[in-house]
Amino acid sequence: MKLLFSATPAFGHILPVVPLMQAAVGDGHSVGLLSCGEFRAAVGEELPPEVEFLDAGVMPDVFSEEAGRRTGADVFHPTPSTIGEIFGGARVDLAVEESIDRATAWAPDLIVAEPFDAVGPLVAARLGIRWHQAGIGPALPAVITDEIARVASARYDRLNLRPVAASSYIDPCPQQLQDPDWSPVVPVRPVRPQAHRRPKDVALDLPEPGGRDRPTVLVTLGTIFSDPDTLSAAVAAVAETGADVVATLGSSLRHPTAGQAARTDSANVRYVPFVPLDQLLEKVDLVVGAGGIGTVVGTFAHGLPMVLWPQGADQPLNAARAAASGASITVDSTADIPRAVTAVLGEGAYRDRARELAAEIAQLPPADTVIAAITRP
């Protein structure tokens, strides 16, 4: 069978569905990814080598800027209506023709789309094939999904198509992190989430756990809202506690060259380039992050506690759910980070709760079970 994954060209939207791609490849299926060609070089190493990249559409800075032009809104602090225009309007308008052409030529049997992706479902309607929605974290609030669908509906009308409901929702979110008010409208298939790991590990020279006399804290602020000053402030705040710090560098939507800035290691601070989260989590005791859902779920899958400093988008929601689980503390500023880090490292309850979450996650069905189910005739 030919499975086409469709996703927004951003790490936080593609990496959570990579385990499904890997499982599909392992089960002998042909696998494609429909996304912006400009993102191919950045994400290519993160994908199974068998995945065929179908170039279509534009990068987030382009379609977000277009949505901002249309609405006059701040796309970095969007309302539900702005989110609807970003993903259901501008992105679709700038991708749909290429996407239909690429997908028609590739001839998939099934499409899997992440929740912010309104292109894949439209392509499925055009080709007359089934599609499944693969979550990338807690289910999106209905006010957001409804707005994306409302804006996208005008694009269906222009093409004389009718929206088709997903055959199922593939849910990677453990119950403790899921929105308690979520009411799914299609069948739900749980799947075990995992922190991202490349097909081949990155060379990484960091001390092994147990061989250190101080705790090690990972500081990672993601690829959308992070900027050099924010990262530096977070690193300095954690280093103030006396812990060893590993900090990830990487570009962001606002500061595309942030990862190229020179950083100087110090006695207890190490800067590393983008490294798959799974490798880094093996080396640390605590994660300080912004609340991107891939980082949150991946960290808890490893049984590690967190301190979260949300920067925007869905991060405050994710941080609130993480804090409610008892395995994380949310802070409002860098001034609060040292106290929170000290509390989480010093109080075993946070670590114990994170380990309980890891045990819960380990009980969820693996990706190959889900792929076998959705590809069954």
Give the three-class secondary structure for 3.
strand
Based on the fold, state whether residues 11 and 141 are members of the same structural domain: yes
pLDDT value for 223: 65
> Residue 205: which pLDDT band, with cuts at 50, 70 and 90?
low
pLDDT value of position 113? 98
Residue 288 counted as domain residue: yes
Confidence of residue 95 (pLDDT cuts 50, 70, 90): very high
pLDDT of residue 199: 74
Indicate whether 176 and 231 sit together in one domain. no
Q: Are residues 164 and 245 in the same domain?
A: no
Together in a domain, 186 and 227:
no
CB 10 within 8 A of CB 38: no
Distance CA 32, CA 91 (A): 20
Angle (deg, nearest 10), helices 293-301 and 315-324: 30
Q: What percentage of the chain has pLDDT greater than the value 90?
A: 71
Give the residue-averaged pLDDT of 265-294. 86
Asked, for residue 282, whether it belongs to a domain, the answer is: yes
Residue 201 included in any domain: no
Residue 90's closest CA among 113, 54, 57? 57
CA distance 22 to 275: 19
CA dist 58 → 8, 169, 194, 248 (Å): 9, 26, 28, 26
Residue matched to tokens 């490798």 = 279
Q: Are residues 41 and 121 in the same domain?
A: yes
Instruction: Please indicate, yes or no, if residue 200 is contained in any of the structural domains.
Output: no
Quote the pLDDT of residue 138: 86
Instruction: Note whether 38 and 77 are same-domain residues.
Output: yes
Which of 73-77, 306-310, 320-324: highest mean pLDDT? 306-310
Buried b (16+ CB within 10 A) or exposed e, 111-135: bbbbbbbbbbbbbbbbbebebbbbb
Alpha carbon distance 321, 177 (integer Å): 5
Specify the higher pLDDT residue, 280 or 123.
Answer: 123
* Residue 153 pLDDT exceeds 90: yes
pLDDT at 261 over 70: no
Rounded to a whole number of angstroms, the CA Rg of the chain reads 20
Choosing from 136, 157, 191, the residue where a domain stops is: 191
Average pLDDT, integer, range 53-73: 97
Number of H helices, E strands in the chain: 16, 13
Taking 50 as the threshold, does the pLDDT of residue 147 lie above it? Answer: yes
DSSP 210-258: TS-SS-EEEEE--SSS--HHHHHHHHHHHHTTT-EEEEE----SS-TTG
Average pLDDT value for residue range 98-110: 98
Mean pLDDT of 90-110: 98
Q: Are residues 141 and 82 in the same domain?
A: yes
Model confidence at 226: pLDDT above 80 = no
- Among 203-207, 215-219, 246-250, name the most confident range: 215-219
267 lies in a domain?
A: yes
In angstroms, the CA 185 to CA 45 distance is: 35
Domains identified in the chain, total number: 2
Q: Are residues 142 and 232 in the same domain?
A: no
CATH number for the domain that contains residue 228: 3.40.50.2000
Q: Is the pLDDT of residue 373 over 80?
A: yes
204, part of any domain: no
pLDDT score of 77 more than 90: no
**Residue 208 pLDDT greater than 60, yes or no:** no
pTM (2 d.p.): 0.87
**Least trusted range by pLDDT, from 168-177, 196-205, 302-311:** 196-205
Listed residues 191, 225, 254: the one ending a domain? 191
Same-domain pairing of 128 and 256: no
Say yes or no to pLDDT of 344 above 90.
yes
- The whole-number pLDDT of residue 198 equals 79
Query: Is the confidence at residue 323, as pLDDT, over 60?
Result: yes
Q: What is the pLDDT of residue 259?
A: 44
Q: Are residues 225 and 132 in the same domain?
A: no
Tell me what the mean pLDDT of segment 31-57 comes to: 95
> Which residue range is the domain that position 56 belongs to?
2-191
* Mean pLDDT along residues 252-265: 48
Give the pairing of strands 130-134 and 169-171: parallel
Give residue 4's pLDDT: 98
**Residue scoring higher pLDDT (321 or 20):** 20
Last residue of a domain, one of 150, 176, 191: 191
What pLDDT is attached to residue 20? 97
Instruction: Please check whether residue 209 lies inside any domain of the structure.
Output: no
Pair 311, 271 in one domain:
yes
Do 181 and 231 lie in a common domain?
no
Residue 299 has pLDDT above 60, yes or no: yes
The larger pLDDT score, comparing residue 75 to residue 107, is at 107
Q: For 137-160, what is the mean pLDDT?
A: 95
Establish if 87 belongs to a structural domain: yes
